[in-house]
Amino acid sequence: MESILAKCVIIGIHSFLATSFSFGLLSRRGANANNLNSYFSNRISNNNDLVSLPQSSGDSLPNDYKKNRNWNLSGEYGINAVGAWRISSNEHKVRVGVIDTGIQEHEDIKANLAPGWDFYNGNATTNEDPMAHGTHVAGIIGAIANNGIGIPGICHNVEIVPLQTRDERGSFSPRYTSDAIKYATNLWGTEQQIDILNYSVGGFGTINYFLGDIMDFPGLFVWAAGNDAHDVDSDINGFESFNLPNLISVGAIDSDVDAYKKTNYSSSGDNINIYAPGGHIYSLSSDNGYRYDTGTSMAAPHVSGVAALLLSNSNNLEASDIKEKILSSSSPLDVTLPSGKSQTVKYLNAYKALESLHSHSYSDSYKWLNEKTHRAYCLCGLYMDVGHAVRKNSSVCSICGGKASMGFIDIGS
């Protein structure tokens, strides 16, 4: 009986911690954690059966996440967005501009939409998206999470700004794309600042018309590699400046069971910075519906979503910092490119990207909670898992990698 009561109390404290983090009540987690030291010390001495605490809580798994449909977000070839959500504070609101066909006011994203602009027609009507392409792209980045319907977007504290540039035939003149980038540049430093631009159009390097505009934009520009299954290096040779510090080019990886690690359409080459899921991506469609879509158009918003996730946790990052963190935290993936060539490429990893915000030395940042089981509490985000929080001698939490800012509860010696 006493044991059950103890568990209940601990679960209650766990819930309190989760809630407190959610509402930002604990400004310095280490300091507040110290207040719990005596309680946990007592529990250790009285009860070693702490492993039955819940494994995750709070924002870790949105109720609109469906494992069978969202292969792109978790699992062996997903980007581990689920892991990232577990350690994300979602503290800052991030604004992402989607240069595309417009965005429908789909019920699963409407609350996350900000006013935008139609650069082709010169007005503010951006919700007519007959192709529903921009709608699909926007959903990957910022569909409303935890609303019980559809899908969760990758970033859970985001505002999507529709920047519509298509003509009536559905094609895109570079002129209007240029205007859209300049528009975002002009908003920089204002309350309407657009932090990231997603461009799932054209194919990376196909046009240098707006290269100067990208260079002038202080935020991050994420560009789909293109679906022509060709080597982009031949397109952009001679344009050394395509390696801009604020530009990420994104290739696509498919999800077919017999064709994992292979894409039949994605453009490739050394100038593609990173790859992300692009095949069979389930997201928003017309008339409040949902559909699967395929292409590098779908891969780019995965990177934009992770970039937004980084900014929502640390809003002082420069575009070049975000690029560096996304690329350096990527997972190596051996792929067969459309040309038949095998190559090890960088594959997007949301969890590792977020984890990279908090690298530090852990030598003294924790104490063992239980010497017998080698288990300890780690306050990585809202996640508390006594079962596999800390491996002895590694000094690194196997869930979050450890965080200086969040640290571990110091339970005393």
Which spans of this chain sit near other proteins (rule: CB under 8 A)?
100-101, 131, 133, 136, 166, 170-175, 177, 200-203, 206-207, 224-230, 235, 256-259, 264-265, 280, 282, 285, 290-298, 300, 338
Instruction: For other proteins, give the closer residue by CB, 135 or 329.
Output: 135
Phi, psi of 239 (to 5 degrees): -110, 75
Our CB check for other proteins shows the closer of 195 and 235 to be 235
State in angstroms the smallest separation of the CB of 174 from other proteins.
7
Residues of 68-79 as b/e, b for ≥16 C-beta within 10 angstroms?
Answer: ebbbbbbeebbb
Strands 94-100, 196-199: pairing is parallel
Closer residue to other proteins in complex, CB, 294/304: 294
Q: Which tokens hold the place of 65?
A: 């996440």
State the nearest-atom distance from the C-beta of 400 to other proteins, in Å.
Answer: 34
CB 164 within 8 A of CB 117: yes
Cβ 71 to other proteins shortest distance, Å:
11
Q: How far is the CB of 125 from other proteins (least distance, A)?
A: 19
Choose between 225 and 379: whose C-beta lies nearer to other proteins.
225
What tokens appear for 257 in the block? 């069971």
Calpha distance 67→61 (Å, rounded): 10
Residues 6+ apart with CB under 8 A from 7: 49, 52, 53
Count other C-beta atoms under 10 Å from residue 115's C-beta. 9
Nearest Cα neighbor of 300 from 211, 220, 194 is 220
CA–CA separation, 227 and 118 (whole Å): 25
State the nearest-atom distance from the C-beta of 107 to other proteins, in Å: 17
Q: Toward other proteins, which CB reaches closer, 135 or 185?
A: 135
DSSP element (H, E) containing 133: helix 133-142
Q: Any idea which residue has 């003294």 for tokens?
A: 364
Q: What is the DSSP letter of 330?
A: P
Q: Which is nearer to other proteins, 88 or 296 (CB)?
A: 296
Give whichever of 172 and 383 is closer to other proteins, judged by the CB atom: 172
CB of 201 to other proteins, least distance (A): 5
Query: Could you give the CA distance from residue 170 to residue 101 in angstroms, rounded to a whole number?
Result: 7
Residue with Cβ nearer other proteins (105 or 228) = 228
Least CB distance from residue 208 to other proteins, whole Å? 10
- Nearest distance from C-beta of residue 338 to other proteins, angstroms: 5
Tell me the C-alpha distance between 90 and 358, whole Å.
15
DSSP summary character for residue 378: B
Closest CB to other proteins among 53 and 207? 207
Closest approach, Cβ 113 to other proteins, in A, equals 19
Show the beta-strand stretches assigned E in 36-75.
none
Q: Which is nearer to other proteins, 61 or 207 (CB)?
A: 207
Using the Cα atoms of residue 269, residue 271, residue 274 and residue 275 in order, give the sign of their dihedral.
negative
Q: Minimum CB separation from other proteins for residue 205, in Å?
A: 9
Token pair, residue 261, equals 């690690």
Smallest distance, other proteins to C-beta of residue 169, A? 8
Q: How far is CA 172 from CA 31, 118, 216, in A?
A: 54, 12, 21
Q: How far is CA 162 from CA 134, 319, 389, in A?
A: 8, 20, 41
Nearer to other proteins, 287 or 364 (CB): 287
Q: Phi/psi of residue 267, each to 5°? A: -65, 150
